Structure 1
């Protein structure tokens, strides 16, 4: 499993599961229940309401039966998260490299190491959009990596070379602790490693790429699985 910035971007959508009825509420006591004609419309209306609520809201969404959950969702993600967290903790105790431990635990690939040189960030229609520039160190010295994001990291490029794209995961880790750094938490001067991890196979289908592929976010580059990019 992985995070995406829009509500329709989850595997139940690929199986025709509707996101509504959806309940939304804020801390002030405002609430609404909406029904929409598509999951894309759910995102549009929920985003508008959230902005009006002060850019913070709670939702209950995608009502499903247990059978639907088993058939359409990415299962055991919480278990995997616990395993990754335990891996980081054990690496620290053993004075091992936590980044290498995370890479091994996730079947991920190290695509960059460097120092954050700049973060350009802006809020547009309820999204945190922008780009981070990471100046290479060690084997990556003398080059810069640019990672564009919309709440989540979407595409990583070094010059004209595309190193990774959505829907594969792009994750930034602190070099010393192995802790993940979100788009909101990224700051100038951080020394980081960038990993890319394979996404769930369902996102690599034509239906999946239509919802979360590079083209959906406006990037004119074909999706290539990270395993193939790293050969």
Structure 2
């Protein structure tokens, strides 16, 4: 489920280990099988393991990876810290760096979460006044709906930040009563290719939706946009 797959880069041999010292090497016929098998191993090893795979040349890496992504991560973290020191809004700084947009802000009023098939699956509701934003997630935030209308979906990024500090809130970290703000930013355009959508689009995760990109307007929700278990 990463861009090198679109360039024909094999994940195998895929080495993995956990903090207890268990180590393995996986060789699969394709990357889809690699993701399928390694997720089972990850569950058995405590839902958190280290991986090393997708071996490629430097020339291939320049094509198959998102340029400057680690630099962007560092810059976002630095901007949050600097904004706190300067007593300015860190969330706005993050939005500016990511070329994103604010979706919603409010209090987390409900979180449903269960770990199944290697995913932390669930839904979170965030409310402010008469409005409610619902985020559906499976390890990552995948679909955001405001009052039943779809705003944005995977493969674009949906991020939850603590209201004042700008600290990121993961799907595992969502808790009742938190004051948060939800933002979105566009993914690398390659994630919107047909091959990528089949790998990380809403339907892959079991949502009967086409991809939505937030442009500041609210779109009607699909009448069949109910979450179902992914195969």
TM normalised by structure 2 equals: 0.90
Structure 1 runs (4+) greater than 4 angstroms displaced: 228-231
Moved more, 174-183 or 97-106: 97-106
Moved more, 80-89 or 109-118: 80-89
The alignment status of 1:75 with 2:67, answered yes or no, reads yes
Q: Which residue does 1:171 correspond to in 2?
A: 159
Match of 1:113 among 99, 105, 109: 105
CA displacement, residues 177-204 of structure 1 (integer Å, 9 cap, x when unaligned)? 0111101111111101000100000001
SS in 1 for 2:103: strand
CA displacement, residues 64-102 of structure 1 (integer Å, 9 cap, x when unaligned)? 111111110112111111111121122112211111111
Q: CA RMSD in A?
A: 1.6
The alignment status of 1:187 with 2:166, answered yes or no, reads no
CA displacement, residues 33-84 of structure 1 (integer Å, 9 cap, x when unaligned)? 1211110100111112222223332221111111111110112111111111
CA displacement, residues 147-172 of structure 1 (integer Å, 9 cap, x when unaligned)? 01000000001233101100000000
Q: What are the ranges of 5 or more consecutive residues in structure 1 without an aligned counterpart?
A: 1-8
Q: Which residue does 1:20 correspond to in 2?
A: 12
CA displacement, residues 91-118 of structure 1 (integer Å, 9 cap, x when unaligned)? 1122111111111111111010100001
Deviation at 1:228, TM superposition (A): 7.0
Kept in 2, the 8 Å contact 1:17–1:62? The answer is yes
Kept in 2, the 8 Å contact 1:114–1:135? The answer is yes
Q: Which residue does 2:213 correspond to in 1?
A: 225
Kept in 2, the 8 Å contact 1:174–1:191? The answer is yes
Q: Which residue does 1:61 correspond to in 2?
A: 53
TM normalised by structure 1 equals: 0.90
Kept in 2, the 8 Å contact 1:198–1:227? The answer is no
Cα distance in 1 between the residues matched to 2:191 and 2:2: 9
Structure 1 residues 144 and 228, CA gap change in structure 2 (3 angstroms): closer
Cα distance in 2 between the residues matched to 1:74 and 1:225: 19
